[in-house]
Structure 1
Amino acid sequence: MKFLSLLAPGALVFGLMVLPVPAADPVPEYDLVVRNGRIVDGTGNPWFRGDVAISGDRIVAIGRVPDGKVKRTIDAKGVIVAPGVIDIHSHSDDLLLEDGHAQSKIRQGVTTEVLGEGPSAGPRKGQLGARKVTARGKEYTWTTLGGYFDAIDAAGASVNVASYVGLDNVWECVMGKSFARPTAKQFDEMKGLIDEAMREGALGLSTYMMMPPGALATTDDLVELCTVVKRHGGLYASHVRSEGLDVFAAIKEAIAVGERAGVPVDIIHLKIADEKLWGQMKDVVALIDAARARGVDVQANVYPYTRGNNNLSSIIPPWAHEGGTGKMLARLKDPKDRARLKGDITKGIDGWYNHYTAVGGDWSRMLVSGRGGYEGLTMDRVIAAKSKGRTPPPDPLDVLFDVLVEEGGSVPTVFAHHDEKDMNLAMQQPWCSIGSDGSAYATEGPLKRGNPHPRNFGTFPRVLGVYVRERGVLKLEDAVRKITSLNAAKVGLRDRGTVRAGAFADVLVFDPATVIDKSTYTAPFAYNDGIEYVIVNGQVVLDRGKHTDAVPGRALRKGK
C-alpha cells in the first residue's frame, strides 16, 4: 500500500502523532439501586427526588443514577429514602447475642444501636467478674468492652452496635457493692478501666446518676474521669442525678462536667418527671441554650412518650441499696427499716429523685412491665388484690415492700411522670435528638416476654407518624435529622447517618402516608406500619416488611 506524502522532498520526519479514539465509557455495575424515591438525606435539607446506588457496603452514587448492570432494583416511587436510624439510647446488649435479628429495632428502621447507660457490656473485671452468656448454642465470655464487641461480631447481628463505657461497671469493678469512697489508688484503677474501654472503641463515658453506684460519684469525680474521655475525643452522656424537683441542679451538674473537663455532653432522655414542675421545660431549654451560648457543647435526647420505664426498686431510697440486692431485701423485711423507708419515701430525701412523689403518690400511674406475677397490672390493682379480705387493709407501702421481696427485688415498671407539652418543646430544640431507651424484643419466641414499654417497638415510626404527619410538631426533614445524622455527629460515627456517596449503605425506605407505631402500654408486642425496607451495610435486612434473616451488622469501634 502506498501513502501520499505531503512532505516536501528532503524533509526529515521526527515522529508521527496518533490521536487516540475515545473508548466507550464502562457500564456501571451496582449491587442495588433504590430508584425514584424522595430522598431525605439526613442533613435537614429539603427532600429531592432521585436514586441511590449501592455497591458492597457503600453508597456509590445518588441523584440520577444511570442504567447499568444492577443485581437488584427497588422501586421507591411515592415513598421516602432516608438514612438508617441511629438509636442513640438502647439497652439491647444481651438480647442481641440471644437473637441477633433485632426484630423490634429493625422494624423501626434502626440500623445502629448505641448501648450503655450507666451499666454497659464491659468492663467486667475485679469485683464485678467476667460476663458469660449462652446464646444460639454457644457460650460467650468477656471481661472488657472490646470482648463484648468481639462476641457481637462472632455471633452476628442485623444491626450495627456501638457503646459507651458505663460508670456503673467501672465503679463496681473496683468498689463492688460498697458505698465507701474510693481511695486515690482505686480511683486511678477506674481511670485505667475507662482508658482501656476508650482504646477498645467506646464512644465515651455514660452515667446513671439517680441510683448507686453512679449516684456515689461526686461532680469532681466525674470531671476527673472525663479527663480520660477527653484524651480520646469521647462524649459524656448522662442520665442526670434527678429528673424531678432537683432537675435544674442535675442539668447544671452535667453542664459543669462538660465545661470543666472540656468534653461534649449529651443529656439522656431530657424530661421534667415530677408533676409539681410541669410546664417549666422552657426554663430547662433556656439553661441549656445559655450554656451553649458561652461555648459549652451540651445537647440532649428524648423519647416520644410521656411515661418512662424504671423499677419499683427505684422507690426504695439509695441508702437501702448498699451492699446489693440481698441486703436491700433484708431491710425490706425488717420492721424498723420499714418504718424508716416509709418516712423517706413519703417525705423525700434532699437530692434524691423520688418516683413515688413524682407521680403524686398515685399507684395507678405505675404499670408493672417486667416478667412475674403482676405484669400488665397497675400497682393500685396489685395493692387492691393483696389487700382483699384483710382487716384493716395493709399500708400500700407494705404491699410494695412485700411485692419486691416476692419478686427478688426487681419489678420493672412504667411510670406516667412527665408532660406532653414539655416533651414536645424539648423535642423541637435543634440540639435535641431522639433515642428509644428500648431493647430489641420480638412479637414471638423467647424475646416475647414481660410487658415492655411500647418504645421498644414503636419509637421512630411514632416520631414520623404522630409527631410529623399527624401533629406537625416536627418537619419531616428535621425529624429524620434527629434520628440519623444528629446522633451520628454526637457520638462520632464516621460515614453513617446521611445518604451520600461514600457513606456506608445503611438505608431506610418508609411510606410517609402510612408509617405509624402500633405498640401500646397494655399490648406492646406489635410491629409498625409503613417501614418497607431496611438496608444495613448494603444488605437488605427488611424486605417489604419481612425480615430476611440477614445479619450484616458490625461492632462499630470509635476511632477504628
Structure 2
Amino acid sequence: MRSLLGTALIVAAALVAVHGQRAQFDLVIRGGRVVDGTGNPSFDADLGIRDGRIVVLGRATGSASRTIDATGLAVAPGFIDIHNHSDTTLLDDPDGQSMLRQGVTSMILGEGGSAAPSRRWPRFTAYFDELRRRGLSANIGSYVGSSQVWTQVHGPRAGPPDGTELEAMRRLVGEAMTDGALGLASSLSGPPGVWIDTDTLVALAEVAGQHGGRYSTHMRTEGTGVFKSVEEAVEIGRRGHLPVDIIHLKIAERTMWGQMPDLVALIAAARARGQAVEANVYPYRAGQNDLASIVPPWAHEDGATALVARLKDPSLRPRLEGEILGKVPLGDWYNHYTATGGWDGMLLVTLTNPRYRQFAGKRMSEVITSIGRPPLDVLFELLIENGGSVPTVFFHHSEEDMRYALAQPFVSIGSDGSAVNADGTVGPAHPHPRFYGTFPRVLGRYVREARLLSLEEAVRKMTSANAAKVRQFDRGLLRPGLWADVTIFDPARVLDLATFEQPQQYATGIEYVIVNGTVVIDRGTHTHARPGQILQGPGRAIDVDASRQRPMGQR
C-alpha cells in the first residue's frame, strides 16, 4: 500500500512540474486603502484571495492569477443590502445590475410578502433551488413574510385567526426557518399586514426566535401613530424573545417633522433596558408604496378584484371619499394621502395599462390636470384601469429627520429597492432612484460632501452591521478566513446619478465588485459572472446538502 501511495505522489509531483504550479493567490488586491467594516480607522494593505476566501490581509507576496491595482481606491467588504425587494426581478435577470453596480454583494429579501411559502414555492427550499439553477451574481438571503404566512392560511381578509389557523401559521414559520429563512418580517401599513394583530405577530415571531432569527418590521404606521408603532415593534421583540430591526425608520407625516430625536430616544430607551432593537434607513426623503395605499384597508379585503369592484360601486363613494381625504378618521390606519400632504407629493412609477403609461414619472397633480377630472375620479380611474395597483413614490418625510436617523450608531443602511436594468427590460419604467443609488449616495453625499458620517462608519453601516443582523458572521468584514466579498471604489468620485426625474442611471465610482472571490464588476462593467450563494439562516436544518453551499459558478 505504501509503495502504491508513494508512486501516486511521484506521479502527482511530475504532473505539477509539467503543467506548472498553481498560483499562490487567485486574486490579489494591491495598494488600496482598506476600510475593513469594523468602523475602525482605515489602513494601507493588500488583500490576497484564494478559493473564494480571504487568505491574506497585509502584505500579499507570491504569485497571483490576477492582480488589481487599488492605488487611490478604498477596499471595503461588499455592501449588504439589509432591505431589498429583488425576490422576483432576480429570476428575470440574475445579474442584478443596478445593485451590483452600487457595490452590493448580498441582498436580504422577504419583507411582508416573501417568495415562500406560496403556490409557486411551497417551501423556501424550492425557491432557493430555483435561484441556484439560474445562478446569481450576488448572495441572497430571505426572511419569511408575516403577510405571506397570513394569506396562505387565513386568506386576504381581516379578522383574527382561529386556533387551528394560528398553529398552521406557526408551522409555516418553523418550516421556513429550518429551510434557511433569516427570521420573520412584517409589513403592517397596508393589507394584508394591517389585519395582523399584535398577539398573532408575537406568536409567529416567537417561532422565528426559537430558531435564532430576527423580527424585521415595516411598522404599522410611520405617520401620526409612529411612536405607538415603535412601541408595538419593541413589544413584539420582547414578548417573542428575539432581536428587532425597524425597516426604514422615518416620520412620514408633515405635521410631525422634527420629532426624530424623540423617536430615536424611544428606541434608545429600549436598548438601555437591554433589548436588542435596531433600525435601518435609505438616504432619501421619499418612499415608495402604491397608489392603492390611499384606499382604506376594508376596501382591500379579498384581493385586487374585490377592491376594483368597490371602487366602481357608487354607493361606497361617500365613505371612501371621507376616509381617503381624512374627513373621517379611521383608527390607526396610516393614510398616505394626509401624510404626504396632497397630490403633488405623489409620483407615479408603473402603470400596466398601455393607455396610461404616458403618466409614468409624472406627479399625481399633473395627471389630474391632464385628465381634467376631479382628483378622486382620477384616482379611482387609475386604479380601476390598472388592476388595482399603481406603484407610487410618496414625498412624505424630511431630509433633516432622515439625516438624524442615519447618524445613529444602531441604524444601518438598506435600499428598499430592487435589482433592475437601466435599459428598462427588468423592473418598472420609472423606479425610485434608490434602486440605483442608495449606497453610493451615502458615500458621496453624506460622507464626502456633508461629512455627516466618517467613511469608516458609513462602511460599517453597510457591511458588518447588516451581516450581524442576519447572523452571517463569515461576511461583512475583511478578515482572513472569511468569504471574499469585496467592493473597491473611489472615495473622491463615488456618487449616485439617479434622480426622481431620471432614475435609470447607474452610480459612478464603483470600480470593482468581487463576490465569493470572483470579479463581477470589473472597472465598472458587469462580467456576467454568477458566483452568488444562498445565505442560510441560523435555524437551517443541520442535514444541509454541503454541495448546495458551494459558489454557483459563472456564466
TM-score (norm: length of structure 1): 0.90
Cα offset, 1:527, TM superposition = 0.6
Does 2:368 match 1:383? yes
Q: Distance in 2 between matches of 1:409 and 1:98?
A: 24
Residue 303 of structure 2 aligns with an amino acid whose one-letter code is G
CA deviation digits over 1:338-385, x for unaligned, max 9? 11001111223120111000112x211100011342201101111111
Aligned position for 1:31: 26
Match of 2:46 in 1: 51
Q: 3-state SS of the aligned residue for 1:241?
A: coil
Counterpart among 348, 351, 354 of residue 371 in structure 1: 351
The number of aligned residues is 512
Higher share of residues assigned helix: 2
Stretch of structure 1 that moved more, 442-451 or 271-280: 442-451
Provide Cα deviations, 1:436-483, integer angstroms capped at 9, x if missing partner: 000000112521642000000000000000000011111100000000
What do the CA deviations read for 1:85-114 (whole angstroms, capped 9, x no partner)? 000000001111111000000000000000
Q: Cα deviations across residues 317-348 of structure 1 (Å, max 9, x unaligned)? A: 00100111111111101112111001111223
**Contact 1:168/1:208 (<8 A) preserved:** yes
Alignment check: 8 A CA contact 1:203 1:234 kept:
yes
Say whether residues 1:188 and 2:188 are aligned partners: no
**Aligned match for 1:154, one of 126, 130, 133:** 133
Determine whether 1:291 maps to 2:270. yes
CA distance in 2 between partners of 1:476 and 1:146 (Å): 38
The residue aligned with 1:6 is none
- 2:400 aligned with 1:421, yes or no? yes
Could you tell me whether the CA contact under 8 Å between 1:150 and 1:555 is conserved in 2?
no
Q: Are residue 107 (structure 1) and residue 87 (structure 2) matched?
A: no
The letter of the residue matching 1:100 is P
Does the Cα contact within 8 Å between 2:36 and 2:77 map onto a contact in 1?
Answer: yes
Instruction: State whether structure 2 residue 464 is matched by structure 1 residue 485.
Output: yes
| Superimposed CA distance per residue, residues 128-162 of structure 1 (whole angstroms, 9 cap, x where no aligned partner) | xx22xxxxxxxxxx221221111111110100000
Separation (CA, whole Å) in 2 of partners of 1:382 and 1:27: 63
Residue deviations 1:152-187 (CA, integer Å, cap 9, x gap): 111101000000000111011101123232110110
Q: CA deviation at 1:63?
A: 1.0
Aligned to 1:85: 79
Cα distance change, pair 399–122 in 1 and its aligned pair in 2 (3 A): same
Contact 1:371 1:451 in 2 (8 A): no
Q: Any idea what SS the aligned residue of 2:535 has?
A: coil
2:235 match: 256
Letter in 2 for 1:233: G
Give the secondary structure class of the aligned counterpart of 1:30. Answer: coil
Is this contact kept in 1: 2:183–2:537, CA < 8 A? no
| 2:356 paired with 1:349 | no
Alignment of 1:515-530 (within 5 A): 515-530=494-509
Q: What is the Cα deviation at residue 402 of structure 1? A: 1.3
Pick one of 306, 311, 319 that aligns with 2:298.
Answer: 319
Runs of 4+ residues over 3 Å off in structure 1: none
Separation of aligned partners in 2, 1:217 and 1:514: 45
Matched letter for residue 360 of structure 2 = E
C-alpha distance in 2 between matches for 1:517 and 1:241: 30
Given candidates 410, 423, 438, the residue that maps to 2:417 is 438
Structure 2 residue ranges without an equivalent (≥5): 1-20, 541-555
- Cα deviation per residue 1:511-548 (whole Å; 9 max; x = unaligned)? 00000001011111101110000000000000000111
Is the CA contact (8 Å cut-off) linking 1:42 and 1:485 kept in structure 2?
yes
Q: Deviations over 1:216-256 (max 9, x none)?
A: 12111111111111110100000000000000000100001
Which amino acid is 2:270 matched to? A
Matched letter for residue 170 of structure 1: V
CA contact (8 A) 1:87 1:434 kept: yes
Report 1:174-323 matches (<5 A): 174-323=153-302
Which stretch has the larger CA shift, 486-495 or 188-197?
486-495
Mapped contact 2:57–2:480 kept (Cα < 8 A): yes
For the 8 Å contact 1:448–1:525, the answer to whether it is kept is no
Q: What is the aligned partner in structure 2 of residue 14 from structure 1? A: none
168-177 vs 234-243, greater mean Cα deviation: 168-177
2-side partners of 1:167 and 1:43: how far apart?
A: 32
Aligned-residue Cα RMSD (Å) equals 1.2
Give the Cα–Cα distance (whole angstroms) in 1 for the partners of residues 182 and 59 of structure 2: 36
Q: Which residue of the partner structure matches residue 96 of structure 1? A: 90
| Deviation of the 1:403 alpha carbon | 1.2
C-alpha contact (below 8 Å) 1:37/1:79 kept by paired residues = yes
- The amino acid across from 2:112 in the alignment is G
Q: 8 Å contact 2:23–2:65 — kept in the other structure?
A: no
Shift of 1:64: 1.5
Is it true that 1:359 corresponds to 2:340 in the alignment? yes
Q: In structure 2, which of residues 375, 388, 393 is the aligned counterpart of residue 409 of structure 1?
A: 388
SS at match of 1:226: helix
Amino acid at match of 1:376: G
Gapped runs of 5+ residues in structure 1? 1-25, 125-129, 132-141, 388-393
Give 1:415's aligned amino acid: F
Question: In percent, how many aligned pairs have the same letter?
Answer: 54
Are the aligned partners of 1:89 and 1:438 in contact in 2 as well (CA < 8 Å)? yes
CA distance in 2 between counterparts of 1:363 and 1:185 reads 44
Please give the alpha-carbon distance, in whole angstroms, between the structure 2 residues aligned to 1:196 and 1:221. Answer: 17
Match of 2:112 in 1: 118
Partner of 2:12: none
Amino acid across the alignment from 1:297 = A
Whether the 8 Å CA contact 1:41–1:499 is kept in 2: the answer is yes
Q: Which amino acid aligns with 1:160?
A: N
Secondary structure of 1:38's aligned partner: strand
1:63 lines up with 2:48 in the alignment: no
Q: Is the 8 A contact 1:342 1:397 kept in 2?
A: yes
Aligned to 2:307, which of 321, 328, 333?
328
- Aligned residue for 2:14? none
Cα distance in 1, alignment partners of residues 174 and 136 from structure 2: 27
- In the other structure, the counterpart of 2:475 is 496
Q: Establish whether residue 470 from structure 1 lines up as the match of residue 449 from structure 2.
A: yes
Aligned mates of 1:440, 1:526 — CA distance in 2: 13
- Whole-angstrom CA distance in 2 between matches of 1:88 and 1:123: 21
